[in-house]
Amino acid sequence: MNSLRRSYDVLVVGAGHAGLEAALAAARQGMKTALVTINTDNIVYISCNPSIGGLGKSHIVAELHALGGEMPRLADKSAIQYKMLNQSKGLAVWSLRAQIDKHQYSRFAAEAAYTEDGLELIQDCIEELVMKGEGDKRHVVGARGQRGNLYEAKAVVLATGTFLGGKLYIGDHIQKGGRLGELSAEKLSQSLMQFDFKLSKFKTGSPPRIHKNSINFKILESEWGDTKRQYSFTGDTSLNKNPRLPCYITHTNAKTHAIIKENKDSSALYAGKMKGRGPRYCLSIEDKIFRFEGRDRHQLYLEPEGLDTSQYYINGLPSSLPEDVQYSFLRTIKGLEHVKIIKPAYAVEYDYLDPCHLRASLETKYCQGLYFAGQINGSSGYEEAAGQGFIAGLQAALKIKGKPEFSLHRKESYIAVMIDDLTLKGIEEPYRMFTSRAENRLFIRADNADRRLLAKGYHVGTVSCSCYKNFLKKEAELLRLKELFLQTKVSEELLTQLYQDGGLTGNLKEKTFAYLFRRGDLDFLSFAQKTAKFFSVDEELVMTAAADIKYEGYVKRQQRRNYQQEKMLSHLIPEAFNYKDISNLKKEALEKLSKIKPKTLEQAARIPGVTASDLEVLLLNLKRSKPAGSFPSRATQGNDSKIKKS
Are the beta carbons of 432 and 374 closer than 8 angstroms? no
Nearer to other proteins, 241 or 587 (CB): 587
The minimum distance between CB 450 and other proteins, in angstroms, equals 21
Nearer to other proteins, 466 or 583 (CB): 583
The minimum distance between CB 644 and other proteins, in angstroms, equals 4
The number of beta carbons lying within 10 Å of the beta carbon of residue 638 is 6
DSSP 538: -
The minimum distance between CB 289 and other proteins, in angstroms, equals 15
Give the Cα separation of 161 and 18 in Å (integer).
8
Are the beta carbons of 80 and 240 closer than 8 angstroms? no
The minimum distance between CB 571 and other proteins, in angstroms, equals 9
State the amino acid at position 621 in one-letter form: N
The minimum distance between CB 109 and other proteins, in angstroms, equals 27
Nearer to other proteins, 88 or 115 (CB): 88
The minimum distance between CB 55 and other proteins, in angstroms, equals 5
DSSP 271: T
Are the beta carbons of 156 and 397 closer than 8 angstroms? no
The minimum distance between CB 639 and other proteins, in angstroms, equals 4
State the amino acid at position 213 in one-letter form: N
Are the beta carbons of 555 and 442 closer than 8 angstroms? yes
Nearer to other proteins, 523 or 538 (CB): 523
Nearer to other proteins, 67 or 622 (CB): 622
Nearer to other proteins, 123 or 222 (CB): 222
Are the beta carbons of 429 and 277 closer than 8 angstroms? yes
Nearer to other proteins, 1 or 635 (CB): 635
Are the beta carbons of 220 and 302 closer than 8 angstroms? yes
Give the Cα separation of 495 and 500 in Å (integer).
8
Cα dihedral sign, 157-305-53-479 = positive
Residue 204's closest CA among 49, 18, 328, 100?
A: 49
Nearer to other proteins, 39 or 621 (CB): 621
Residue 158's closest CA among 321, 360, 385?
A: 385
SS3 359: coil
DSSP 379: B
Residues that bind other proteins (CB under 8 A): 55-56, 85-86, 88-90, 92-93, 95, 281, 299, 301, 434-436, 439, 441-442, 519-521, 551, 554, 558, 565, 568-569, 583-584, 601, 605, 611-613, 615-617, 619-620, 623, 630, 632, 634-635, 638-646
The minimum distance between CB 336 and other proteins, in angstroms, equals 19
The minimum distance between CB 638 and other proteins, in angstroms, equals 5
From the centroid of its chain, how far is CA 56?
A: 8
DSSP 424: I
In sequence order, what DSSP letters do the residues of 565-622 get, joined into one string?
HHHHH--B--TT--GGG-TTS-HHHHHHHHHH--SBHHHHHTSTT--HHHHHHHHHHH
In this structure, are strands 33-37 and 5-13 parallel, antiparallel, or unpaired? parallel
In sequence order, what DSSP letters do the residues of 618-641 get, joined into one string?
HHHHHHHHSSSSSS-GGGGSS---
Nearer to other proteins, 54 or 142 (CB): 54
Q: Which helix (H) or strand (E) holds 312?
A: strand 311-315
The minimum distance between CB 637 and other proteins, in angstroms, equals 9
SS3 447: coil
Nearer to other proteins, 248 or 372 (CB): 248
The minimum distance between CB 436 and other proteins, in angstroms, equals 5
Nearer to other proteins, 33 or 49 (CB): 49
